[in-house]
Structure 1
Amino acid sequence: MSRPLGGAAAGVALVLLAVLAGTVAQRATDPPTTVAAAADVVPTGHTTTVAVTAKDMRYHPDTITVPPGDRLIIELTNGDERRHDLVLANGARTGTVERHATARLDAGVIGATVEGWCSLPAHRQAGMTLTIVTGTGTGAHMAAGEHGTEPVRDATAPPTPAERTHRVDLHVKEVQIEVAPGVRQLMWTYDGTVPGPVLRGRVGDVFEVTLTNDGTMDHGVDFHAGALAPDRPMRPIDPGESLTYRFNATKAGIWMYHCSTMPMLHHIGNGMYGAVIIDPPDLAKVDHEYVLVQSELYAGPDGEVGDLAKMQAEQPDAVVFNGYPDRYAHRPLTATAGDRVRIWVLDAGPNRSSSFHVVGAQFDTVYLEGRRVLGPDDPGGAQVLQLGPASGGYVEAVLPESGHYPFVSHSMVDAERGARGVIEVGPAS
C-alpha cells in the first residue's frame, strides 16, 4: 500500500472534517498537560527533553525517538506568523501558541508510538503532524527535506555554450531516490536525476544526443525542441541498447523532453522528463537566471515505482519544483535588492497545470511558448505565468528590496502539496 505525503492527498470531505475537528478542539477545555505513565512500560525515572519548532506548516523535527519508559518533555516554539498548537493522541496538548512564543508540553512516559498534530482548522490535513517513537536513540530525528537536508538541486540555469553543435550522452538509469522526506521510490531517470539534466543552446544549433538504456526495461526519449518524424529517434530501446537522436533547434523556448515509451503517463510520472532551453535571439543578460520544472509525484509502495492508478485518477501525493516538495523553501534561491531575476518555468505534468507566481513581485517581462507577451516598456504587468502540461516560458522581475519572496503555483492545493519555495533577497551593497 502506498503512503500519502503530508497533506498532499487531501479531499474536500477530509478538509471539512479537519476544519470541524480543529474548531471543536479549540473550544474544548484543555486537558492536563501531564499524562500518566504508559501501562505497558516500566518508567525509567529519566526525562528526555526535545525542542520542536513549528514553521511553514510543519513541525521540525517531525519524528522524536525516546527510550522506552522515559518521560518526554517537548519545548514547542512557534516560528511561524500564524498560531499553532500540538495535540498528542495520548491526551497531552499545549494551548494555542502565539507567534514566536514557546510552550512546554509534558508528553508523559512513552511506551509506544504516539502521533501528534496541530488542531487548528485544516493544519493537520495540510501536513502538521509529528510522531513519537520508542528506540535506543534519543532526541529528535530530522526528516530528510527539513532545514535544508533534502538532496541538493541547483536551480541556476546553465550558461549558453559557445559551440553550435552539442554532443550529449544521456543514460537511462533506474535508481532509488528520496522523493520526499523519508520516502524513497524506484524512479526511472535520465542520468540518475529527476528531472533530467537541463540542456541549452541557441536557434540554429544542432543537438546530437546518444541515449543509452542502462535500465531493465525498454525506454526512449522525445525532444520537443526538435521537429522530425518520431519513428526512429523516439523508438523505445531495450536494455543495453543505444541510439543517436539528432535534431536542429529551429525555434526558441523552453522545451520538454520525456520518455516516449508507452504508457507514457507512467514513464513521465515516474521521473523521465527534463528541459531544453533554446535562447531567443534577443535574450538580454540578467543578474540571476533560474530554471524550475514543475511536476507531480504519485507515490507507490516504499522503494518501488510510482502508482499508475493514481496517475490515471489524477491524484498526486505531491506537486514539486525540480523533483522534491518544498525544495527551495529550505534552500532558497538568492538575489540582491534591485537585481533583475529571470525564472524559466516548464510544466512537465504529466497532469497538473501551473500558475507560477512570486509573492511580492510583479513581472514586467513574460515569455510564453515562444513569444514575448509582455516587455519592460509596456505599461502593464503580470502576476502569474499560466502553463499547461508540457508548456513553458520565463518571467522577469526586479525585486525592489531585501526580504523573502515566496514563489508558488497559485493553484493553492498544489502549493500546499509542495509546489513552493522562496527567493531570499539581500540588501544592496
Structure 2
Amino acid sequence: MGPRSGPSTLPQVVFLANTALRPVAPVGRRRRTTAMTTSDRTPVHELSTDPPPTHRDGWMTITFSVAACAVFFALLAVGLALRASDEEAAAGSAGATGSQTVQVELGDLYVEPASISVPAGTEVIVEVTNAGAMPHDLAFEGDTSRGTKMLDPGETETVSLGVVETSSEAWCTVPGHKEAGMVMAIEVTGGDTEQASAAGGHDVATAAPGADGNAVIDFNAAPADGWAPYDPTLAPAPGGTEHEVTWHMTEEVIEIAPGVTQELWTFDGQVPGPTLRGKVGDIFTVTIVNDGQMGHSLDFHSSKVAWDDEMRTIAPGESLVYQFEAKHAGAYMYHCGTAPTLHHIGNGMHGAIIIDPPDLAEVDHEFVFVQHEFYTGPEGQPGDLAKMQDDEWDAVVFNGYVNQYVHAPLRVEQGERVRAWIVNNGPSENSSWHVVGTIFDTVYFEGAYSLRPDDTRGGSQALALQPAQGGFVEFTFDEEGFYPFVTHKFSNAGRGAMGLFQVGDVELPEGASH
C-alpha cells in the first residue's frame, strides 16, 4: 500500500487535544460582572445574584481537566502511531516498485529480446518459450539454479528472479550456444549499480578470449608409452547391397596431441568417426543413438534426403534411423548438423564415407586420411568456439592426432601401388595433399577422374581440397626410404599435418626433417 495522501494525521490529533483542554465553566449559573457608570462617571460593580460556587463544583472541574489530559495523550499516541505507519508505507513503496513480467523467446542460437530494462527494486518474472527446433534453457547469472529446465521445442516455463537490484545476464547452457549468441542482458536502472551486459540477438557473439587458460600443443613432444595411432587402413567395400550400422553419439575426453586432451563430441567414441564404404546403388541404414548430454544430428553428404527428416536433431536418450541409397560415387564427408554446426564439426563430430566408382582398380594398399582442425579449449574441455569463428586453429591433423604418422610411420614396400583417399572435413581450412618424393599417376576428385595411369606421361603433385571435398590419388615408391606426406600449405604442416611412409626395412636418420 502506498503512502496516505493529504495532510499528516498528527496535526489533526493535536488540534482535537487542544480543544479538549480548553477551560470549561463549572456547572451552574455563572457570576456576571457588568460595568455601570454614574453621573460622576465612577464605575460601580453590581454583584450577581447567583449563589457562590460550592466544593462540589471545584472537584468536578479538576476531574474534567484530568480526563481531558488523558484524552490528549491518548490521541497524541494514536497520531504518532499513524505517522510511523505512514512513514513505513512510504519507505516500503520507495523500496519496491512492483513486479514486471517479461516474455522471452529462445530460438536456435538467439534470445529475443536480447536485453531487458527494469527499475531497481522490481520483482522480475520471466516467461520463457522455446521457439527453436532443438532443446534450450535459460540460466541466470549469480544463481543458475533459478533458471529453467531444458525446454523441448514449443515448451514454456515461468520463473521468478525475485527483486532485482543489479544488472546481470542470462544465457542458454547448451555447450556453444552462449558463445554463438544465446545471451540476454538484464539492465537494472536507478539502482546503486547499473552495469548492463552487452549481448547480441540473432548475430553471432564473440566468446571469451580463447588464449587464456586454453591447452597449448608442443609439436615436438612424443606420445607416452602405450599410445596407439588411429588406423588409416581402408578395408574393401563389403559384399552385398545393404549395410546396417548403429553409432552412439557421446562426449569423450580424448588425447589429440602428446599430453593434451580435449572433450570431443564423437560418433561411436572416436574422432574422426567410423569410415563407411560401399558401391553405387547400395542401401545404408545408420541408426544413431544419442548417449550424450546435448542434442546431436547426422548429415551424410552422400545422401539425397530431406534435411528436416533424417537430419533432424535428436535429444539425449533419443535415437533416429537414417536410411539412404548411394546414388553417386565419391569421397564424402558426414557430420553433425546441430547448431552451431561449426562447433560440432570443430569439436570432432565428422567422418568419411567412400562410395567406390565403378570398376575401381585393385591396389596393394588403401589408406584414408581425414584432414581437420583442432581449436583448443582448456585442458579436458570442449574446443573454443570463438577461435573457430575467427579461423584461429591450433592444429591441423590427419585422423585426429597431431603428427601421429610421424610417430608411427605407415609401412609399404618398394614398387607397391598405394591409393590414398583424402577427405577434407575442415571445418574451415583447405588442403593440398602431397607426398614428398613421388608423383601421382592417378587423381580422382569430387566424383571424376582428372588423371589415369594410361594417360601419356601425365603426373600430379598435389590433391587440392576445400572443406567438404574429397577424392583419391594413386602412386608408387621407386626407392626404399622415408617419404613424408603433408598438406603443402606449410604453415599447417608445421601444426601437425604431417606423416611418413616407410618404404622397406629402413631407419629414420637422426635429425631428419623436411
- TM bucket normalised to smaller: 0.5 to 0.7
Q: Give, in whole Å, the separation in 1 of the partners of 2:235 and 2:264.
A: 24
CA distance, structure 1, for counterparts of residue 227 and residue 375 of structure 2: 19
Q: Which amino acid aligns with 2:314?
A: I
Match of 1:425 in 2: 503
Equivalent residue number for residue 196 of structure 1: 273
Runs of 4+ aligned structure 1 residues displaced above 6 Å come to none
Please list the CA deviations of residues 298-355 of structure 1 after superposition, one character each: whole Å capped at 9, or x if unmatched.
0000111000001011011100000001010011111110001000000000000000
CA contact (8 A) 2:218 2:258 kept: no
Question: Is the counterpart of residue 385 in structure 1 residue 500 in structure 2?
Answer: no
Aligned residues: 293
Unaligned 5+ segments in structure 2 are 1-212, 507-514
**Superposition deviation, residue 163 in structure 1:** 1.7
| RMSD (Å) for aligned C-alpha atoms | 1.4
Superposed, 1:102-251 pairs within 5 Å as 143-144=222-223, 150-251=227-328
| CA offset digits 1:372-406 (Å, max 9, x no partner) | 00001112100000000010000000111111010
2:229·2:405 contact (CA, 8 Å) conserved in 1? no
| 8 Å CA contact retained: 1:337, 1:427 | no
Amino acid at match of 2:217: L
| Higher helix proportion | 2
Report whether the alignment pairs 1:398 with 2:473: no
What is the aligned partner in structure 2 of residue 19 from structure 1? none
The corresponding residue for 1:304 is 381
Structure showing greater radius of gyration is: 2
In the other structure, the counterpart of 2:348 is: 271
CA distance in 1 between counterparts of 2:424 and 2:253 reads: 23
Structure 1 runs not aligned, ≥5 long = 8-57, 63-142
Pairing 1:5–2:214 present: no
Q: Is 1:320 aligned to residue 397 of structure 2?
A: yes
- Structure 1 residue 286: Cα displacement: 0.1
Structure 1 residue matching 2:359: 3-state secondary structure:
coil
Q: Give the Cα–Cα distance (whole angstroms) in 2 for the partners of residues 388 and 149 of structure 1.
A: 35
> CA offset at residue 240 of structure 1?
0.5
3-state SS in 2 of match to 1:178: strand
- Counterpart position of 1:53: none
What TM-score, normalized by structure 2, do the two folds share?
0.56
Partner of 2:443: 366
Shift of 1:149: 5.1
What does residue 371 of structure 2 align with? 294
Structure 1: how far apart are the matches of 2:226 and 2:343? 28
User: Match of 2:423?
Assistant: 346
- CA distance in 2: counterparts of 1:301 and 1:403, whole angstroms: 39
Structure 1 residue 228: Cα displacement: 1.5
Secondary structure in structure 1 of the residue aligned to 2:309: coil
Residue 427 of structure 1: CA displacement? 6.5
Letter aligned with residue 279 of structure 1: D
Structure 2 equivalent of residue 407 of structure 1: 485
Please state which structure has a larger fraction of its residues in strand: 1
- State how far apart, in whole Å, the 1-side matches of 2:227 and 2:257 are: 8
> What CA distance in whole angstroms lies between the structure 1 residues aligned with 2:320 and 2:434?
39
Indicate conservation of the 8 Å contact 2:396/2:492, yes or no. Answer: yes
Partner of 1:69: none
How far apart are 1:6 and its partner, in Å? 3.0
SS in 2 for 1:413: helix
**Cα distance in structure 1, aligned partners of 2:413 and 2:228:** 25
For 1:281, the aligned partner's letter is: P
Offset of residue 230 of structure 1: 1.1
